[in-house]
Amino acid sequence: MEKQNRLQKYLAGIFCLIIVIGIFGGIASVMGVANMLNTIMKTAHDLLLNTVFYLMAICVITGALGRIFVEFGVVSLLERILRPLMKPLFNLPGVASLGAVMTFLSDNPAIISLAKDKRFSSYFKKFQLISLTNFGTAFGMGLLVIVFMISQGYFVEPFIGLLGAFIGCICSTRLMQHFVCKAHPEFKEEMAAIIDENDKLEAESVKETSMFTRILNSLLDGGKTGVDVGLSIIPGVLIISTLVMILTFGTGDNGIYDGAAYEGIEFLPLVFGKINFLFEWLFGFEHPALMAFPITSLGAVGAALSLVPEFAAQQIINGNAIAVFTAIGMCWSGYLSTHTAMLDALGYRKLTSKAILAHTIGGLVAGIAAHWLFVLYALAFGTPATFEGGADRYATVSSPVKIEFVSENQVRIGDRVFTDNEGDTPEQEDSMAHVIKDMLLTNHKIVEVADGQKIDATSFVEAEKLPYETQESLMEEVEAAFAMYRDEIAKTKFDGRTVKELNDEEIKALDESIPFKFERPEVEETTREQAPAQETPAQETK
């Protein structure tokens, strides 16, 4: 027996080595060993400084706010308001709403501290008490997720996601109750705890202290709890997010690996790209890399949140994605790393697999619900949305596009520099005009602008410093790109017709819907030698 156990340990060690070597060997074969190691360290370092500490700051603020709510009865008030919803929606006693509020303000394990209270658990039958693991997890770190999404500039979408998480929670909780009752029919009638008649639920007493002291103590105690939560998310963010980012993103702007942060091998987009039609229909994801967020949420929602700024920097995120991220991030909130411990604390570890299965389904339902709720919101409030092949495209306005002439044959768009290769034409697949057009569409997939306001999107920087022939060549590329972009918008707005197929009124309506205009600057026929570089501000097209 001892020899067999030793053999199993050796086999487990060999299997572990094979997996580790396989993963990092595969990455190194693409990036190079030195570049891989540098990217891992620099990505983790940047996440620590620019993401973890930012999340910790939010944890401290929300922790203090949550403790204030507890101290001054806001939690009790919310519990009374939500109590009537518990039985019809979740098949739980009214006091379960207190668990939803507490986990929303803190994290998943808050529900366990309540469930282990004999006075609290006496309201539940056994199958209901066990389902609290799923119920509480669906709201875990909800305040942190919503505040973070709002800090990214989204205000309506996080609350659409909250409603999606609510729907996912109903599904997860009810499924778990069904699984438990099927496996243990006796739990359907047995009470989770029995208390003596003299042991009654007592109201929380308020300490006889001054208002200032109560506020100060609440803020400091809540902030301290926030620091603990912030520290607890560091391993998940640095380990899980770094690995997911390496598997998600590609080379740097120069198209090569140089060991910079946030480089990768684009493995996940390749895999999910094969079935992205499914995620487009279910979640409305327009880019397969967005699936990295739900995957990371399985282990740690704090780590998943760290992906959002990078998605935004790559301009592959929109309001729909934020709503779905909020729903899945809240509903799953790292349940793979907490469900076992939570059920073990309740004494029902053997039901862990059932809880995980129910919550997996619940999280998917949450994401799907958030997506289609966003579709309804977009249609109801006039946000343009078109449908192609069952996938919805949402109109969004992000930061203006800035096109700069940086040399005699180069144009900078954002942080990327593109070269005008000799002989390129707008019809060629890799021409600069196509690149500019795609960049415009990425930033301004819109057919309407709120309140009719237009934005400045294109500016020619230092164009006067370039020779006449160079200015003409580059402006022809930009003009061709704008023409192609205008045709794409026309096809979206006018049933697939191009600008040439529109009448004068339709062309006028089209141009009014585009958030910026392309106007050719006047170019004087001079050379760099004949006309010295001027220090005047760059001319902008409006």
Q: Is the pLDDT of residue 501 over 50?
A: yes
Element containing residue 413 per DSSP (H, E)? strand 410-413
The 10s digit of each residue's pLDDT in 291-313 is 889 888 886 787 788 888 878 87
The whole-number average pLDDT for the span 33-56 is: 84
Query: Among residues 265, 223, 228, which one has the least CA distance to residue 248?
Result: 265
Spatial distance between the Cα atoms of 454 and 380, rounded to a whole number of angstroms: 23
Question: Average pLDDT, whole number, for the chain?
Answer: 76
User: Which residue stretches of 241-315 are H helix?
Assistant: 242-248, 267-274, 276-283, 292-297, 301-305, 308-313
pLDDT of residue 205: 44
**Length of the chain, in residues:** 542
Asked if residue 346 belongs to a domain, the reply is no
pLDDT band with cut points at 50, 70 and 90 for residue 396: very low
Q: Is residue 94 part of a domain?
A: no
CA distance 399 to 473: 26
- Whether 324 has a pLDDT exceeding 70, the answer reads yes
Q: What one-letter code names the amino acid at 513? A: S
pLDDT of residue 509: 80
With a cut of 80, say whether residue 265 has pLDDT above it: yes
- Whether residue 475 is contained in a domain is answered as yes
Q: How confident is the model at residue 397 (pLDDT cuts 50, 70, 90)?
A: very low
| Neighbouring C-beta atoms of residue 95, cutoff 10 Å | 18
Answer yes or no: is 449 within a domain: yes
177 domain residue, yes or no: no
Q: In this model, does residue 486 exceed pLDDT 80? A: yes
In DSSP terms, which residues pair with 417 in a beta bridge?
412
Q: Are 411 and 417 in contact (CB under 8 A)?
A: yes
**Structure token digits, residue 481:** 């790109």
Return the higher-pLDDT residue of 197 and 349: 349
> Is residue 451 in some structural domain?
yes
User: Which domain does 23 fall in, by range?
Assistant: 1-31
E strand or H helix that includes residue 225: helix 211-232
Residue 221: how many CB atoms within 10 A of its CB?
16
448: in domain: yes
Residues whose CB falls within 8 Å of the CB of residue 150, separated by 6 or more in sequence, listed in order: 158
The Cα 15–Cα 9 span in angstroms is 10
Cα 22 to chain centroid distance, Å, stands at 29
Residues 6 or more apart whose Cβ sits within 8 Å of residue 336:
298, 299, 356
Average pLDDT of span 159-186: 94
Task: Confirm whether pTM is higher than 0.85.
Answer: no
How many angstroms separate the CA atoms of 536 and 542, rounded? 18
Cα torsion angle, 156, 162, 165, 166, sign: negative
- Decide if 23 is inside a domain: yes
152, with CB counted inside 10 A (0-12, 13-18, 19+), is middle
The contacts of residue 358 (CB under 8 Å, 6+ apart) are: 134, 172, 173, 175, 176, 179
3-state secondary structure (DSSP) of residue 291: helix
Domain total in the chain: 2
DSSP category for residue 101: H
Q: What is the pLDDT of residue 328?
A: 94
Mean pLDDT (whole number) for 407-414: 66
- Rounded Cα gap, residues 369 and 308, in angstroms: 20
The candidate with the shortest Cα–Cα distance to 318, out of 384, 232, 408, is 384
